[in-house]
Amino acid sequence: MVGLVSLVSVALFASSIWALPAARHSPPEGPLKLPLPDPGKNNLFCVVPFPVIQKLLCPRQGTSSQTTVTTPLGTAHGVSDTDGAARFAVKYGSASRWQESSVVSSWELPNGATDPTALPLTCPQNTTADSTMSEDCLSMILYVPPSVQSGSGAPTLMWIHGGSFIVGSATDPGLDGSALAAATESIVAVVQYRLGALGFMDPSGNTNLAVKDIVTALQFLQKVLPSFGGDTSKITLAGQSSGANMIRALLAVPSVSSLFQSGILQSDTMDYGFLNMDIQQTLQDFFNSQISCDPSDSECLSNLPLDDILNASQTLSDDGGDISAAAGLAEPIRPVNDGSFITSPLDSTAPFPQVSKPILLSTVLNEAMPTIYSEFTDPVDSSLYTTVVNVTFGTPRTERILTTAVYEVPQQTAAGTTVDARPQLSNLGTDQVWRCPTWTFARNWVQNGGQVFVGLYVVGATYPGNDQIPACLENGAVCHEDDIEIVFGTVPSPTSAQAALTQEMQARYSAFLRTGDPNTGSFAKWTPATTDDVHPLLLGGSGEASVGQCTTSYWGDFVQYDYQVFDI
């Protein structure tokens, strides 16, 4: 068996680097030389007539007036947007470096700000300027529409951003929750959490700090939601990519089950599984070797330069698959099944626990396309295709995959034509990492007591970064992250199909937040999954998706998932 070299081994491009505003990373054609905005302050690019730049650098413009709400933690200062929603940026938790977080004792604006229009600095990550990030980053942004402010008992959707656990923030493009809050008549809370080694690699061995940050955020909401008209028993966790992975981790934490009622998981990379303690220890030992402090020297660790930590974290992220084949190359830093906090792998490697929460699972049509077409910018011939599959899957999975019609080696169809196996690689990666393990998870959830609704987006909106990938711009393509702006209602100049799907998804989410069932109005019947048929609804299309190779006898059986191969 060759070490795990996933088809999405460069998923940092698909689910993290490309998730950032253009000014934070370097696209293939070279870096975009623009200064980063100072959160909460006017910026030159916010007043020039370039909509794309405004969208990337100025996602929260148009505030009109200040507003206050009295909470048990003190007076909340916010601003009312032009659409009427009130936005409150707040620090929800405090934590010393590599210590567990706790709920704040008083209402504070993020990062010591005095202006309620100020937005939180990001958690430390290698792709942002020092002036835009801070270790004091446990903040969230609450969006509260007028219909909720004047009433009580509204549900809350708490959104957890993606970014492969190493990048991202509550202010990423498209995450302005004003429209979503107004459409669903709910409170939308967009939360950020510690990333990379700061969130998962405490040198002393304590892990899952980032997951526990989300628990702290939930505990904060329990204290303040009634002041904004919210019902603390109606909190739904929602997130995309690693944000969805975070929700799956919390579903495996019995001690926090009472803090939320349901989950919405979009494009979770379920093939990877959680890490086990043996893999985590191997990664932890490597990380500790990269820093100049003894794990027991708390003073040294506290004074360690942030750049040293970020560099060591990046090295671990880059080399994770070489350090431990089971960790993989895509997300070697991720939640850990430690047996005490997270108590189950929630996959097919161990008995599945009894569950009860309703969940909604979705993937998009071309999840792996950004990765494949970024890694392979030229056509992939038959020989290279075979090599890639073999290096990725080893024996016996390669032989089984290549004898399957939809994944078999493409043949030249006419003299002079060029074989291009990238479509096969994209389909294979989508099935392997996202679609099929998600459907397997759905079956397991139903079999053990829960209700699940499964969807597949066949209409999307090109997310910033994906517009650098020609394949993602082709008619009908829906790439990883292209569902985000649909859900939030932040698509710039939406087509009629995009506008219709946004209206549908926001109506379905509104119903799900209240009842655990996304069926509402005159929209097509969304049938809940069973152990035999997951009934994947085509979101933006008509009817249900074909099963393809996501059957109980193929992925997870005839061809095992990575979490099965490596017993993680």
Would you name the residues annotated as active-site residues? 241
The answer to whether residues 110 and 117 touch, using CB atoms and an 8 Å cutoff, is no
Q: What angle do CA 374, 376, 379 make, to 5 degrees?
A: 130
- Estimate to the nearest angstrom the gap between the alpha carbon of 532 and the chain centroid: 28
H or E segment and range at residue 539: strand 537-539
- C-alpha dist (Å) from residue 193 to 121, 177, 387: 11, 18, 39
Separation in Å, CA 468 to CA 13, 350, 367, 542: 11, 41, 16, 29
Q: What span, in angstroms and rounded, lies between the C-alpha atoms of 213 and 219?
A: 10
Q: How far is CA 420 from each of CA 202, 385, 479, rounded to the nearest angstrom?
A: 45, 9, 19
- Distance between CA 497 and CA 551 in Å, rounded? 30
Q: What single-letter DSSP state applies at residue 249?
A: H
Strand pairing report for 74-81 and 86-91: antiparallel
Residue type at position 254? P
CB atoms within 10 A of CB 29: 7
